[in-house]
Structure 1
Amino acid sequence: MEKRLRQRAVLPVVAACATAAVVGTPVAVAAPDGTFAPTAASVAIGHLVATTGVDPARAAHVLAVQRAGAVRIHDLDRRLGARAAGGYLDPRTGSAVVNVLDAPSAELVRAAGATPRAVRYGTAELKSVQAALELVPNTSAGLDPRSDQVVLTVSDAAPPEQAAGLLDAARGFGDRVRVERARGVFRPLVYDGDEISDGQSVCSAGFNSNKGGQNYIIDAGHCAQGLPYWQGIGPTEDARFPGTDYSLIRNDSGDAPGAVNLYDGSTQPIAKAGDATVGEQICKSGRTTQVTCGSVQALNETVDYGDGQTVRGMVKTDTHADHGDSGGPWYDGSTGLGMTGAGDTVSVTWFQPLTAAIAAYGVALNP
């Protein structure tokens, strides 16, 4: 009986974005390109009101405009090139703030409709500091453009002597590094003790995609180690973990909608992929914690889980997730952002950027 229950636990997860026909297709809620479906919007607005103090109407406005601001930030980052210093979204307005190192950069940012903010350090310098920090298990480091710093996160589960050495090295970089504390072990969010190769493991499906007339699911790499066959779906064709954290599962079920299960009979349509931005209000879906929302805290994070498992290029959030949510989709309205990677199951969760997986596999998201 235990095996049967666990198999059934996997199927609704896959139905979240891939094979809803297996267990009954959720009723889609119409949502125009760029907007949150009602269920996700309600959770995201609640988070924004609680963390910023804005009223619900202002929070709804932030959700409506923030993706345009995020696109503007990433475009300006590319245009500034070596002069780039990062950018973030103002959580109270959703507008783009772009860090600058000189007057010409400020003029460029203003002309593009964003707000320039003078900072001391640029992206290149902070990345060099990040690379110099030799992480130990249960620590991470990434860039926070809001403070113009590298944020070093150290869990209380980190080996004490190694953590002390890392913190001592961090102090040598002065105000270029900020230390934050976390609780618990950093690890991929798959149920402990389950073996993904035997069909028992509980993960969540990511994003439906296609290439050459074949449907696929983009998922977390750590879920698909050993290239298991997913019951009712199909085989895993590729899995990459550690280093990065994405996989490609062949979807032979005949059902692959471009929508995310919101676990109340409705779905969030996904129209395109995009890159996350610090300060962006985002949501995730997963079979364990269902729909939870929060904000992006840092980009390009390197996370050390221990045992030689280090992943780079992750996005750090303050959103709750738990075991079984691994692989589940993260989104800003109809823009897909990534797949759940790891966390401390309390308040820190990382996701693998979706755009990197799409580029690696040459697939397109399903409409």
Structure 2
Amino acid sequence: MRNSRLRTAVTTTAVAAGSAGLLAGSLYVVHAEGRSGGQEARLAGDSQAGRRTAAPATGQAAARAARIAGRLGDRTTGAYVDSSGRPVVTVTNATDAAAVRAAGAVPKMTQRSPATLRRMTGALQRAVADIPGTGWAVDPATSKVTVWTDDTVTGTRMAAVRRTTGRMGAAVRMVRIPGRLRTFALGGDAIFGQGARCSLGFNVKRAQQDFFVTAGHCGNEIQNWAADQQGAEALGTTVESDFPGNDFALVQTEQGAEGQSAVNLYNGQAQQITEAGDAVVGQRVFRSGSTTGVHSGSVTATNATVNFAEGTVTGMIQTTVCAEPGDSGGPLFAGSTALGLTSGGSGDCQTGGVTFFQPVTEALQVFGAEIG
């Protein structure tokens, strides 16, 4: 990632406060070099800044589905929210089905076992991970593995992907993503460091000290952060960073965040963030960014693998929320729940797109931190 291309979008913890120390946001790392009106994944229910930012109707259902699936562990292929807004959890036996039903969700028997699907994704990891522009995730609704390729995957590389997926037969669904998956970020309400611009993630606390989380590819490049290009208003220092593999970084702040975290709605208001949670397929979500404001869409996959030119990132959230350069790092959230940090994708907010997010729960667990 070249500093000359690195810019960001920022969210604020408390818009009324106007303090540089209260900035929050993260980095969007993709640049779509091509556009197409026939994209597989388009923006679902787009929302402009502040137009519709209340907790989505699917929020409680998604949280319930995630909790129940977490209890089942390896005995489920995942959970999702169906078209009626009901929480659905996949199961492999009648005992688990009864437990899911008793917990207030709809059980669905999987067509393929979790072990079978894990073997398939393991085979993809061994055979395809070194091909940039590819990725995959398990679709719990169909018990299939969705494998995507961008426009750069052609010739012998596409042949290699098809050889691997061909051996899996009907258990694989192939999707073409127009454009190019690429680490790239442009600016907005920027924060600065080492001649580059990035944006912050959510304000967090660790051992009663103030930090913020952001994208790891930013933390890899930037050590000292400031609110202005001249570096006069110091924001903090990167203390930990992980990319590729994951895409998160931890920055210790110079100014206290007063234990709060919120998302800028770009209408003079802020959405308070009080907790972190796990995204669920079918859930309605929002992303905030300085180029295009607030947009919404739905989660299409969790635990997704994305192969960027810089390396493979695993465990990602895939969505239909659009993003553009300058929305870099805008937080993914649902109501007052933090879900992710923008990491990459393809497309724009004119034609729609596919965007991937680093789950914030994983970052918090690794860093031993919690939402401020």
Superposition TM-score, scaled by structure 1 size: 0.81
Indicate conservation of the 8 Å contact 1:18/1:207, yes or no. no
Counterpart CA distance in 2 for 1:336 and 1:61 is: 13
Structure 1 segment 1-367 matched on structure 2, within 5 A: 13-17=9-13, 21-22=18-19, 47-48=44-45, 63-64=56-57, 66-91=58-83, 93-133=84-124, 134-135=127-128, 136-191=131-186, 197-201=193-197, 203-231=198-226, 232=233, 233-255=235-257, 257-307=260-310, 309-346=311-348, 347-366=353-372
User: Structure 1 residues 195, 74: CA separation in 2 closer, same or farther (over 3 Å shift)?
Assistant: closer
Structure with greater helix share of residues: 1
Counterpart CA distance in 1 for 2:312 and 2:14 is: 29
Per the TM alignment, residue 18 of structure 1 is displaced from its structure 2 partner at its CA by 7.6
Q: Which amino acid aligns with 1:70?
A: A
- The structure, 1 or 2, with the larger RCO (C-alpha pairs under 8 Å, 6+ apart) is 2
Q: Per-residue CA shift, 1:49-70, capped at 9, x if unaligned?
A: 99xxxxxxxx999923x22222
Question: Bigger shift: 273-282 or 154-163?
Answer: 154-163
Counterpart CA distance in 2 for 1:349 and 1:139 is: 13
Aligned residue pair count: 327
Q: Per-residue CA shift, 1:311-358, capped at 9, x if unaligned?
A: 111111111112232322110110000100011134010000001110
Indicate conservation of the 8 Å contact 1:137/1:159, yes or no. no
User: Structure 1 residues 230, 165: CA separation in 2 closer, same or farther (over 3 Å shift)?
Assistant: same
Structure with greater strand share of residues: 2
Indicate conservation of the 8 Å contact 1:289/1:325, yes or no. yes
Indicate conservation of the 8 Å contact 2:14/2:270, yes or no. no
Counterpart CA distance in 2 for 1:240 and 1:184 is: 26
**Structure 1 equivalent of residue 36 of structure 2:** none
Q: Which amino acid aligns with 2:113?
A: G
Counterpart CA distance in 2 for 1:293 and 1:62 is: 12
SS at match of 2:290: coil
Indicate conservation of the 8 Å contact 1:227/1:238, yes or no. no
Q: Per-residue CA shift, 1:20-52, capped at 9, x if unaligned?
A: 6346989xxxxxxxxxxxxxxxxxxx94499xx
Indicate conservation of the 8 Å contact 1:16/1:205, yes or no. no
Structure 1 unaligned regions, length at least 5: 1-5, 27-45, 51-58
Counterpart CA distance in 1 for 2:143 and 2:184 is: 30
Q: Per-residue CA shift, 1:169-204, capped at 9, x if unaligned?
A: 102101211111101111234139x99752432x33
User: Structure 1 residues 217, 199: CA separation in 2 closer, same or farther (over 3 Å shift)?
Assistant: farther
Counterpart CA distance in 1 for 2:275 and 2:119 is: 32
Indicate conservation of the 8 Å contact 2:69/2:76, yes or no. yes
User: Structure 1 residues 306, 95: CA separation in 2 closer, same or farther (over 3 Å shift)?
Assistant: same
Counterpart CA distance in 2 for 1:264 and 1:363 is: 29
Q: Which amino acid aligns with 1:163?
A: M
Indicate conservation of the 8 Å contact 1:314/1:351, yes or no. yes
Q: Per-residue CA shift, 1:148-188, capped at 9, x if unaligned?
A: 11110111122431122112210210121111110111123
Indicate conservation of the 8 Å contact 2:46/2:321, yes or no. no
Per the TM alignment, residue 254 of structure 1 is displaced from its structure 2 partner at its CA by 3.2
Counterpart CA distance in 2 for 1:61 and 1:234 is: 31
Structure 2 unaligned regions, length at least 5: 24-42, 227-232
User: Structure 1 residues 24, 77: CA separation in 2 closer, same or farther (over 3 Å shift)?
Assistant: closer
CA-atom RMSD in angstroms: 3.1
Indicate conservation of the 8 Å contact 2:194/2:222, yes or no. no
User: Structure 1 residues 129, 255: CA separation in 2 closer, same or farther (over 3 Å shift)?
Assistant: same
Superposition TM-score, scaled by structure 2 size: 0.80
